[in-house]
């Protein structure tokens, strides 16, 4: 492996057998140690646990993650990809840019729903009872986390 150019401490570029591989960290996302790996020639972006395709993600608030960081990672990935990019999630099927956009939009909507209820002075139990994830639960809430659990993670990560 030949170590290539490095613009800063959060970005590394490698060349392996003629393939350019870019590894980058944008700060906290789902945790405080997330990276993405981009294989330029193949146009493949591996996002790890910053992208869960079609299912509610884990946001590790105790280890530096939060909902806003998760949204920021999704925004950066959406801006970086094209309709041809293969997107590798941490969980779920191999994805597309359209699925990444759907994921980001779900994160934003749930965050906004929970934040609005929190701003109204609602308790966590009242927010969970209001079902701020209801529009997404049938699709996104069938793996590790249901809507109530995801609502609690989002709530815990709001400033």
Residue 33 in this model has a pLDDT that exceeds 90 = no
The pLDDT, as a whole number, for residue 5 is 47
Q: Which residue range is the domain that position 150 belongs to?
A: 2-157
pLDDT at position 9 = 67
Place of tokens 């308790």: 123
C-alpha–C-alpha distance, residues 149 and 28, integer Å: 21
Residue 6 has pLDDT above 70, yes or no: no
Antiparallel, parallel or unpaired: β 44-52 and 86-91: parallel
In this prediction, residues 119-143 reach a mean pLDDT of 97
Residue 8 pLDDT level (bands cut at 50, 70, 90): low
Helix (H) or strand (E) holding 37: strand 36-39
The count of structural domains within the chain is 1
Query: Range with the lowest mean pLDDT among 27-31, 105-109, 146-150?
Result: 27-31
CATH code at position 68: 3.60.15.30
List the structure tokens of 144. Answer: 């590790």
């Amino acid at each position: 492996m030949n170590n290539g150019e490095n613009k800063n401490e959060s970005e590394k570029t490698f060349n392996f057998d003629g393939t350019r591989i870019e590894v980058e960290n944008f700060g906290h996302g789902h945790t405080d140690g997330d990276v993405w790996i981009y294989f330029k020639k193949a146009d493949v972006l591996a996002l790890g646990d910053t992208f869960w395709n079609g299912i509610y993600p884990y946001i590790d608030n105790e280890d530096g993650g939060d909902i806003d960081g998760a949204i920021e990672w999704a925004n950066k990935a959406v801006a970086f990809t094209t309709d041809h990019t293969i997107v590798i999630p941490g969980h779920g099927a191999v994805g597309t840019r359209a699925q990444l956009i759907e994921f980001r939009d779900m994160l934003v909507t749930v965050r906004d729903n929970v934040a609005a209820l929190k701003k109204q002075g609602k308790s966590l139990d009242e927010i969970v009872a209001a079902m701020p994830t209801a529009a997404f639960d049938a699709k996104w809430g069938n793996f590790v986390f249901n809507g109530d659990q995801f609502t609690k993670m989002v709530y815990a990560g709001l400033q």
